[in-house]
Structure 1
């Protein structure tokens, strides 16, 4: 797969009912959930972008929100690697000209594969080509397979390219494998499959100010309860005003103090400033140790000193 240059045009996001502007007519589309926009997804997207450039067509992603699994199994919250804002941000970095976000609701869930092709891909988008992963299924009861898509393309007059799975040392790169790696604290493995360190975005909230008393003032964030990142201490970077700052973060329940709801607490090295109310991205680079309970404040501070030194070394 070649790496396409970024699109010279602004990235456009279209939602239900919004018509394609003239500049996006007859697009080549990459279609999928794209949670994580990992290297396997980028193989699909990169193929679409390359094909679009060679044909002189625009390149779009067609994706779904909320994640279909959240619609079908609302009682089982899904750990989203990239919630919608971050997913769109990642898609905009791939060279695509835009994204079409389809609301996954009862109406879309009830639409059979043939109607999806006829109404959305052909009727609304007027696609010239569709690129999908080898395991992409769509339509009511997942009736639309890659084989069905190829046959539908022949009938409706658009080209179809199916992209083989991306293997990494013999293992398939997939969102579920990345989620499993993060649940075990294997952030380096997750970063390798994602093509970049895994990142969260959340608002900095007021905490109990305990870190300040210990000499380690932290930026506190509550993450989505569905996030199943392993509790522990991590070497991280935090982007503030476009600048990446190094730091050390604890994700967990603070067993030395209160065993409360999981929270991300980040000590940003060599930084002073008021961050309350800011939404900041935190990227996870290395797992340092599991969360521990300490018998004394002195033991905790000594460990925090060691964690900071290890985090600096890992990030250097």
Structure 2
């Protein structure tokens, strides 16, 4: 069952108060986040399991000019949290009022009075309140004074590095989706609605489903072996390009173009999910359409090989 999403901490139904609550942004819902959620549940398994997060991400509020960076927008985040057993998500609207709220007020009005949290769990670097004025030491004092339990969860490490959303974004931007998947605990995917392109792929013999990235992080530009999840839940292997089509004169925004192997049909207007298995090569400019066509054929052959072998390219 999908988690219930609550956006207003002032209007939480009584039945959804009194949970054990994991705190954080949870962008990506990676293995470190999963550890915090398990700790929240383990401390009070008798209570409903909740997550308190913020939408939009505070960085989107404070630095709207930053390039898109989200690993998971709210629908994808909710699905990943639901898979971990979360039953309620307090996705608080992060606006100027919430940003200006002092840390003590946040504990009293949001955590205690608003959602009625009985136990809290967070990572050691969790900070909240106006100018991030509340750290875990502050939270520990405030929670104890109010009879709320608290578990501070140590970071989860991978090869000596802390698993974090920032690190996963960097891995994706550097062309290592398989390493990002290891830290996420699942393949990274990009979601979007298929739109009408210029049909050039069809003319070249390689029809593609095109999506825009929107607020999602842009991985390394280039070619990937992928699995495409269709609206009906079926999964189709394929090859995809993330880029701005330099051979065709360049696009103003990045798009993802996915060719689905051994499949035909109409996907326009449908949301698809493109899961990145392996980065095959960087984006490139070709001398013409015939050269581009030959490169696509070679990319497709390599993607088939990689997907069949279940490994990353050598």
SS at match of 2:66: coil
Q: 2:142 maps to what in 1?
A: 152
Q: C-alpha root-mean-square deviation of aligned residues, in Å?
A: 1.4
Q: 1:173-184 counterparts in 2 under 5 A?
A: 173-184=163-174
- Tell me if structure 1 keeps the 8 A contact 2:169–2:217: no
Cα deviation for residue 37 of structure 1 reads 0.6
TM-score (norm 2): 0.94
- Tell me if structure 1 keeps the 8 A contact 2:73–2:216: no
Q: 2:235 maps to what in 1?
A: 244
How many residue pairs get matched? Answer: 306
- Tell me if structure 2 keeps the 8 A contact 1:232–1:252: yes
- Tell me if structure 2 keeps the 8 A contact 1:36–1:82: yes
How many Å separate the matches in 2 of 1:78 and 1:110? 24
Unaligned runs of 5+ in 1: 1-8
Q: 2:16 maps to what in 1?
A: 24
Moved more, 299-308 or 60-69: 299-308
- Tell me if structure 2 keeps the 8 A contact 1:60–1:97: yes
Alignment partner of 1:253 is 2:264: no
- Tell me if structure 2 keeps the 8 A contact 1:77–1:226: no
Q: 1:230 maps to what in 2?
A: 220
- Tell me if structure 2 keeps the 8 A contact 1:233–1:287: yes
Deviations 1:48-76 (A, max 9, x none): 123332xx111100000111111111222
SS at match of 1:256: helix
How many Å separate the matches in 2 of 1:91 and 1:21? 20
Moved more, 15-24 or 83-92: 15-24
How many Å separate the matches in 2 of 1:26 and 1:57? 7
Cα deviation for residue 297 of structure 1 reads 2.5
| Structure 2 counterpart of 1:11, from 3, 7, 31 | 3
How many Å separate the matches in 1 of 2:171 and 2:60? 21
Q: 2:194 maps to what in 1?
A: 204
| Structure 1 counterpart of 2:299, from 301, 304, 307 | 307
SS at match of 1:246: strand
